[in-house]
């Protein structure tokens, strides 16, 4: 009996771990990139959230305005807050608090959990935030200095560290440009740029920290060197770096002034190496108790070097202590402090080294073991730990040129965050191209004579034998996985292959920084490739107008607003063709059109004018665009010789005082499985199925109204319109259209009840269905016609278009919706889901169409016949059941749009959301009726079939013997 037990234990040990039964497929079939944005050098640091412990977190306020804390050991986000754009972030040393200043607000956050401790908003825009060095008597928290620009003038406020209340204000009467604020134990310094555009002098105002009154003021001559705030390299925040520094216009010398000393302007020569200096950065400590030392890091085109300087606070002299040698390529320098000691960490492509600011001796050196695909190092922050008398350890969080955030621990890569993927502005699905080698081979064999084709086939089969060992090696795993596992999407990492269910697809994502990514949806959204399409200037965003993927060639075309475009291979990211910005007329929008030469993406110029195009590329259908005044126009193309000229067929202008805010049409892939809806009495309401429907949203801010117009894109006729009053036009107003229905959401008045109570306000979803007639089994006025025309609806002169019969219903929802889209399946048989982005909960919900059915009975329970057709009692409020939340417990912030695409399975639709975060999943609105789920027990099925086989094998001879004996006994 011992042998079977051992065999059973061995069998159980080789079973895969995927046999575990899940309650659902949450966190298995979906993926989420919890992103922050690119960390900024002046708002990224290590900080202890609990002063009594040594553990630190990594904090940053990114270029997208996301404030977050990252665990330095794992790279996971501990907490995040989405703020009002870029700004300033400071740590309060000795306290578990970080302070941010963005937009018009200054806020204090609990450094451990990210909860807001206090917040205060003002009229101006925050220009700088600093922490006072000392604690006022009787107060337990350090005060905050917040510098604002209000009506072109500088305003400095001292805020109480415990509550954020204003202690005093200082108003600069001049119109100088506020730059930064600094402080020491005795004084507060306000640094401003004095002068006009083209050249500034630097003004330093000294204030009394107790009263905020100006004590002194002086001006530094810098007009020839400083032309923008970015030209001032450093304004020290406290007494650890009490200087102002900038480079002259030739970048030959560094000019430094000690804050508070008007006559202490010193010139420090910058040592050149390998050509002219192209970039200068200054690194100084942030802790108050640190020694007043700083490092000047200079870059040439091919190398970089650094010099360390000491400040004598008593005499005001600045002396060069030592220099770090020149190294080839680019590098990053980080500053860290431990008590009074200051350490500089230098990271290059080859090594990481630590030096003390006091002397040039190298305290630690490690070779760099970081993936070269991350690119060169741009900037970073470091944390140095002294482990023994002569032993040190360092970890550096470094931003690379490929926009990855990499943690380098003692020279080795610990984790990577693909922060460049944040800030996505456009995305499109792409099929994984099929291998055409076999098809081309078979085609070549078919066009050759039989003998040569036979010889070629034999050679091909012999050549294929090289893949036989690998096939045999994978065969047991394939058998086991097909029997024991239900994970149909698993494939080797990095292997881009199509699957039998259509789950493995690519997503082409373009970001606002000019970068393009290719993501593999079958590998949890893994990055397959990335490229820098265009160099976007600082302070600007790449305005992508459209992405079109040609699945037949595997090429994606991306068009931008400045006329630029790039053609990228979806499988490898290789650029086929590229046009730089400014070499083509500006583009207002882009549309994928069908032409005699095939589909392509048509750029539409300003004022809605696509311009003349070659006749073979002329769109077959009408084009709907917006004019210079926001009006909607329908264009058709008339062929004139070798060119096709756009002609305005119709123009739609909303009512006076209204402006158009959105124009949408039916999705390109919108199949219809049934032309009618069956009623409970078995009659049919025929759907109004027009491919030319356009939904226009127009609002009036003064009248607080929103009007929705349903247009025919061929004739421009208004098929239906509805107006809502009491609309808050500052709230999101979004809409979607599919098949024979459209839906929109807004904040507006709710109709009064029969009790006579006044109307209240709330978030609403309004859904409308279109039918050919209000009479069942009737096809309407065009029912007898085989064909119809939007321009000439009937033979009667000046006949009106056949208007649809509209059924509408309104539902209340608990929060606002910022974006809407609809799921897509191959044949349109599956019930559609409305995908909504919720602004308050930062989540995405899928609302089934059965809930949004406007035909649900009102005020009564459904009859058995109605219940059989899927109708249930109307409830005015749609509660967002957690089971409908596609993102589950995740917070997906900054969503720009949600796109869907069909899988090969009719039950399943693939969903991808992008913005600051990236989220992807697959949904089955009608349940997975054409695929076995994880809950299906394949082992039980195999065991049952095997038991039946054994039973047949055992009982078969017995039955035959019984039959034979029965015949003999009868005889």
Residue 283 above 70 pLDDT?
A: yes
Length of the chain as a residue count: 971
pLDDT at 489: 46
Give the Cα separation of 531 and 516 in Å (integer).
5
Q: How far is CA 742 from CA 270, 664, 735, 768, 856, in A?
A: 66, 10, 7, 6, 17
pLDDT at 1: 39
Residue 568 above 90 pLDDT?
A: yes
Mean pLDDT across 205-209 = 94
Q: By percentage, how much of the chain surpasses pLDDT 90?
A: 70
The answer to whether the CB of 898 falls within 8 A of the CB of 734 is no
Q: Which residue has the tokens 């007043």?
A: 292
Mean pLDDT across 929-940 = 78
Question: Is the pLDDT higher at 262 or at 795?
Answer: 262
Closest CA to 547 of 595, 494, 594, 510: 510
Residue 18 above 50 pLDDT?
A: no
The answer to whether the CB of 613 falls within 8 A of the CB of 623 is no
* pLDDT range class, residue 16, cuts 50, 70, 90: very low
pLDDT at 693: 94
Could you tell me how far CA 688 lies from the centroid of its own chain? 36
φ/ψ of 964, rounded to 5, equals: -65, -45
C-beta atoms surrounding 870 within 10 Å: 14
Give the Cα separation of 299 and 302 in Å (integer).
8
pTM of the model: 0.89
* pLDDT range class, residue 871, cuts 50, 70, 90: very high
Determine whether 577 is exposed, middle or buried from the number of CB atoms within 10 Å of its CB (0-12, 13-18, 19+): exposed
**Alpha helical stretches, state H, 898-970:** 938-970
Mean pLDDT across 679-703 = 93
Residue 186 above 50 pLDDT?
A: yes
Determine whether 165 is exposed, middle or buried from the number of CB atoms within 10 Å of its CB (0-12, 13-18, 19+): exposed
pLDDT at 742: 97
Lowest mean pLDDT among 80-89, 369-378, 468-477, 741-750: 468-477
The answer to whether the CB of 444 falls within 8 A of the CB of 438 is no
pLDDT at 757: 55
C-beta atoms surrounding 23 within 10 Å: 7
153: CB partners within 8 A, 6+ apart? 171, 172, 173, 174, 175, 176, 178
C-beta atoms surrounding 567 within 10 Å: 16
Q: By percentage, how much of the chain surpasses pLDDT 70?
A: 91
Residue 19 above 60 pLDDT?
A: no
Residue 22 above 90 pLDDT?
A: no
Extended beta strands in 814-894, E state: 817-822, 833-838, 843-848
Q: How far is CA 960 from CA 234, 947, 952, 955, in A?
A: 99, 20, 12, 9
* pLDDT range class, residue 13, cuts 50, 70, 90: very low
pLDDT at 853: 93
Number of H helices, E strands in the chain: 6, 63
- Give pLDDT tens digits for 694-749: 999 999 999 999 999 999 999 999 999 999 999 999 999 999 999 999 999 999 98
Question: Is the pLDDT higher at 24 or at 210?
Answer: 210
Residue 494 above 60 pLDDT?
A: no
Burial readout 486-508 (b: 16 or more C-beta within 10 A, e: otherwise): bebeebeeeebebbebbbbbbbb
Lowest mean pLDDT among 138-152, 500-514, 925-939: 925-939
259: CB partners within 8 A, 6+ apart? 182, 184, 187, 189, 204, 236, 242, 243, 244
- Give pLDDT tens digits for 544-565: 999 999 988 899 999 999 999 9
Give the Cα separation of 72 and 50 in Å (integer).
15
pLDDT at 434: 67
Mean pLDDT across 306-331 = 91
The answer to whether the CB of 514 falls within 8 A of the CB of 542 is yes
pLDDT at 465: 84
- Give pLDDT tens digits for 237-256: 888 889 999 999 999 999 99
Residue 589 above 90 pLDDT?
A: yes
Lowest mean pLDDT among 78-87, 137-146, 755-764, 826-835: 755-764
Mean pLDDT across 207-213 = 94
pLDDT at 7: 41
Mean pLDDT across 200-209 = 94
pLDDT at 942: 84
pLDDT at 795: 53
Residue 188 above 60 pLDDT?
A: yes
Give the Cα separation of 253 and 446 in Å (integer).
75
Give the SS3 label for residue 463: helix
Strand partners, 462: none
Mean pLDDT across 128-154 = 87
pLDDT at 473: 79
pLDDT at 136: 67
Mean pLDDT across 787-802 = 62
pLDDT at 800: 66
- Rounded to 5°, the CA angle 418-845-25 comes to 70
Mean pLDDT across 830-842 = 95
Q: Which residue has the tokens 């959105």?
A: 662
pLDDT at 931: 81
The answer to whether the CB of 215 falls within 8 A of the CB of 207 is yes
* pLDDT range class, residue 885, cuts 50, 70, 90: very high
227: CB partners within 8 A, 6+ apart? 197, 198, 199, 200
Mean per-residue pLDDT of the chain: 88
C-beta atoms surrounding 266 within 10 Å: 17
Element (DSSP H or E) covering residue 654: none
Mean pLDDT across 300-312 = 92
Question: Is the pLDDT higher at 753 or at 636?
Answer: 636
């Amino acid at each position: 009996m011992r042998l079977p037990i051992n065999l059973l234990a061995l069998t159980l040990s080789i079973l895969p771990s995927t046999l575990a039964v899940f309650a659902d497929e949450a966190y298995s079939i979906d993926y989420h990139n919890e992103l922050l944005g690119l960390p900024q050098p002046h708002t990224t640091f290590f900080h202890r959230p609990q002063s009594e412990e040594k553990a630190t977190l990594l904090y940053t306020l990114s270029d997208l305005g996301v404030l977050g804390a990252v665990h330095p050991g794992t790279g996971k986000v501990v907490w995040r807050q989405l703020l009002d754009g870029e700004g300033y972030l400071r740590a309060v040393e000795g306290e578990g608090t970080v302070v941010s200043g963005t937009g018009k607000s200054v806020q204090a956050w609990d450094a451990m959990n990210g909860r807001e401790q206090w917040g205060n908003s003002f009229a101006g825009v925050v220009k700088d935030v600093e922490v006072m060095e000392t604690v006022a008597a009787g107060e337990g928290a350090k005060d905050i200095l917040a510098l604002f620009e209000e009506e072109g003038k500088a305003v400095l406020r001292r805020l109480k560290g415990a509550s954020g209340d204003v202690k005093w204000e200082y108003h600069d009467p001049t119109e100088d440009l506020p730059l930064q604020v600094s402080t020491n134990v005795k004084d507060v310094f306000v640094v401003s740029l004095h002068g006009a555009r083209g050249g500034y002098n630097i003004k330093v105002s000294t204030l009394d920290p107790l009263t905020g009154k100006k004590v002194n003021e002086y001006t530094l001559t810098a007009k020839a060197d400083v032309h923008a705030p970015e030209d001032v390299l450093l304004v020290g925040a406290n007494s650890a770096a009490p200087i102002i520094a900038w480079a002259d216009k030739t970048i030959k010398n560094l000019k430094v002034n000690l804050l508070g000393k008007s006559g202490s302007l010193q010139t420090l020569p910058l040592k050149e190496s390998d050509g002219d200096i192209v970039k200068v950065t200054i690194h100084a400590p942030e802790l108050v108790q640190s020694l007043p030392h700083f490092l000047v890091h200079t870059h040439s085109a091919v190398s970089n070097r650094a010099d360390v300087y000491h400040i004598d606070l008593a005499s005001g002299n600045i002396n060069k202590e030592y220099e770090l040698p020149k190294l080839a390529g680019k590098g990053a320098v980080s500053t860290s402090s431990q008590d009074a000691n200051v350490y500089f960490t230098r990271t290059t492509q080859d090594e990481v080294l630590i030096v003390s600011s006091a002397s040039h001796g190298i305290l630690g050196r490690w070779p760099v073991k970081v993936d070269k695909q991350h690119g060169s190092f741009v900037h970073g922050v470091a944390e140095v730990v002294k482990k023994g008398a002569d032993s040190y350890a360092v970890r550096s969080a470094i931003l690379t040129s490929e926009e990855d955030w990499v943690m380098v621990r003692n020279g080795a890569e610990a984790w990577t965050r693909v922060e460049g993927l944040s800030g996505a502005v456009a995305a499109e699905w792409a099929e994984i191209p099929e291998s055409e080698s076999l098809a081309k081979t078979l085609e070549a064999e078919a066009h050759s004579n039989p003998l040569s084709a036979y010889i070629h086939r034999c050679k091909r089969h012999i050549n294929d034998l090289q893949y036989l060992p690998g096939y045999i090696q994978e065969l047991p795993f394939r058998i086991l996985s097909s029997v024991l596992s239900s994970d149909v999407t698993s494939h080797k990492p990095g292997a881009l292959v199509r699957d039998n269910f259509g789950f493995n697809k690519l997503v082409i994502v373009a970001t606002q920084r000019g970068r393009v990514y290719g993501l593999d949806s079958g590998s949890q959204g893994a990055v397959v490739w990335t490229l820098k399409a265009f160099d976007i200037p600082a302070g600007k965003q790449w305005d992508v107008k459209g992405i079109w993927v040609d699945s037949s060639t595997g090429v994606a075309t991306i068009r931008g607003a400045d006329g630029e475009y790039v053609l990228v291979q979806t499988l490898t990211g290789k650029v086929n063709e590229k046009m730089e910005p400014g070499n083509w007329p500006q583009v207002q929008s882009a549309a994928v059109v069908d032409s005699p030469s095939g589909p392509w993406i048509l750029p539409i110029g300003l004022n809605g004018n696509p311009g003349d195009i070659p006749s073979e590329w002329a769109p077959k259908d009408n084009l709907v665009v917006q004019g210079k005044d926001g009006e909607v126009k329908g264009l058709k193309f008339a062929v004139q010789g070798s060119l096709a000229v756009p002609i305005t067929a119709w123009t739609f202008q909303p009512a006076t005082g209204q402006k158009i805010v959105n124009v949408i049409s039916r999705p390109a892939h919108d199949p219809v499985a049934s032309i009618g809806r069956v009623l409970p009495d078995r009659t049919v309401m025929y759907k109004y199925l027009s491919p030319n429907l356009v939904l226009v949203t127009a609002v009036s801010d003064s009248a607080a109204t929103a009007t929705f117009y349903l247009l025919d894109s061929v004739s421009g006729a208004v098929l239906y319109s509805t107006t809502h009053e009491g609309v808050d036009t500052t709230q999101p107003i979004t809409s979607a259209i599919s098949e024979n229905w459209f839906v929109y959401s807004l904040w507006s008045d709710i109709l009064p009840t029969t009790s006579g109570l006044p109307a209240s306000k709330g978030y609403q979803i309004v859904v409308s269905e279109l039918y050919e007639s209000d009479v069942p089994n009737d096809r309407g006025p065009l029912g007898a016609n085989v064909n119809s025309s939007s321009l000439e609806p009937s033979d009667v002169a000046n006949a009106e278009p056949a208007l649809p019969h509209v059924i509408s219903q309104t539902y209340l929802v608990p929060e606002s919706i910022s974006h809407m889209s609809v799921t897509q399946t191959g044949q349109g048989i599956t019930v559609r889901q409305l995908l909504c982005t919720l602004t308050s909960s930062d989540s995405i919900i899928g609302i089934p169409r059965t809930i949004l059915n406007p035909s649900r009975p009102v005020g009564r329970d459904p009859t058995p016949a109605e219940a059989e057709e899927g109708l249930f009692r109307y409830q005015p409020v749609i509660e967002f059941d957690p089971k409908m939340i596609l993102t589950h417990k995740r917070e997906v912030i900054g969503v720009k749009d949600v796109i869907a695409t069909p899988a090969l399975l009719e039950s399943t639709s693939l969903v991808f959301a992008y913005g600051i975060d990236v989220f992807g999943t697959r949904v089955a609105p009608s349940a997975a009726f054409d695929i076995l789920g994880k809950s299906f027990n394949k082992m039980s099925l195999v065991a049952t079939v095997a038991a039946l086989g054994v039973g047949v094998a055992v009982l078969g001879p017995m039955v035959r013997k019984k039959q034979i004996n029965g015949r003999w006994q009868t005889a």
